Structure 1
Amino acid sequence: MSFALSRTDDTVVVTVEGQLVVTNRQEFKQAVLDAAEQGARLVVVDFSHSGYIDSSGLGALVSLSRRLREGGGDLRLVGLNEDLRTLFELTRLDALFPLYATQADALGGR
């Protein structure tokens, strides 16, 4: 997996390519935490180029969401394919994470 961060004011967009799994979740998590420490309040994670997230990747997302919310921020997910969307629905994580079709939708005028 690789990922790229782009920042505008207090918003960070993380574009994920490949799988978010046990071998790379910590690097991903630390990059988002670093951005939050530098003032990011809205983090949008774009999975348009990703097809798989394992349980440790889900755990990293849950942990990040909690940390961001504690700091007054928000974590939003975009570009989930049908399989990923089903995963979030079956685990009921769609109630925790706002799911959007596109980055523009997630940014909602920001």
Structure 2
Amino acid sequence: MGFRVVAKDDVTLIEVGGQLIVGNRQLLKEQVLEQLERGDRKFIVDFSKTDYIDSSGLGVLVTLSKKIREHGGQLSLVSLSEDLRTLFELTKLDTLFIFSD
């Protein structure tokens, strides 16, 4: 699976399907940065259909969060499974992101 990006009103929703790994992280980065260049500032990443995130996937989320904040925006993460939420807590990345259910 891949990514689905839907921009509506002032929010860009990114649905991550399957896995966020080294093989597809660049595509996610490019899609989000493209929306950022268009002026979007509020991003929500939906992980309801995500099974796995590797270290490069975490890294791209950190990079995107930093870029979005530099442009005065916000990146929120929603619908994480218990396992994915634990991953963010164990890596201390839960302090970097906004989580919503």
Residue 40 of structure 1 aligns with an amino acid whose one-letter code is D
Deviation at 1:9, TM superposition (A): 2.7
Would you identify which runs of 4 or more consecutive aligned residues in structure 1 move more than 2 Å?
A: none
Q: 2:4 corresponds to which residue?
A: 4
Deviations 1:20-73 (A, max 9, x none): 000000001100000110011011000000011000000000000000000000
Residue 15 of structure 1 aligns with an amino acid whose one-letter code is E
Q: 2:70 corresponds to which residue?
A: 70
Instruction: Provide the rounded CA distance (Å) in 2 between the counterparts of 1:100 and 1:88.
Output: 13
Q: 1:25 corresponds to which residue?
A: 25
Deviation at 1:8, TM superposition (A): 1.6
Residue 14 of structure 1 aligns with an amino acid whose one-letter code is I
Instruction: Provide the rounded CA distance (Å) in 2 between the counterparts of 1:63 and 1:9.
Output: 24
Instruction: Provide the rounded CA distance (Å) in 2 between the counterparts of 1:41 and 1:17.
Output: 22
SS at 1:80's partner residue? coil
Q: 1:98 corresponds to which residue?
A: 98
* Alignment TM-score, normalising by the size of structure 1: 0.89
* Alignment TM-score, normalising by the size of structure 2: 0.97
Fraction of identical pairs, as percent: 55
SS at 1:23's partner residue? coil
What are the ranges of 5 or more consecutive residues in structure 1 without an aligned counterpart? 102-110
Q: 2:42 corresponds to which residue?
A: 42
What are the ranges of 5 or more consecutive residues in structure 2 without an aligned counterpart? none
Contact 1:76–1:100 (8 Å) recurs in 2: yes
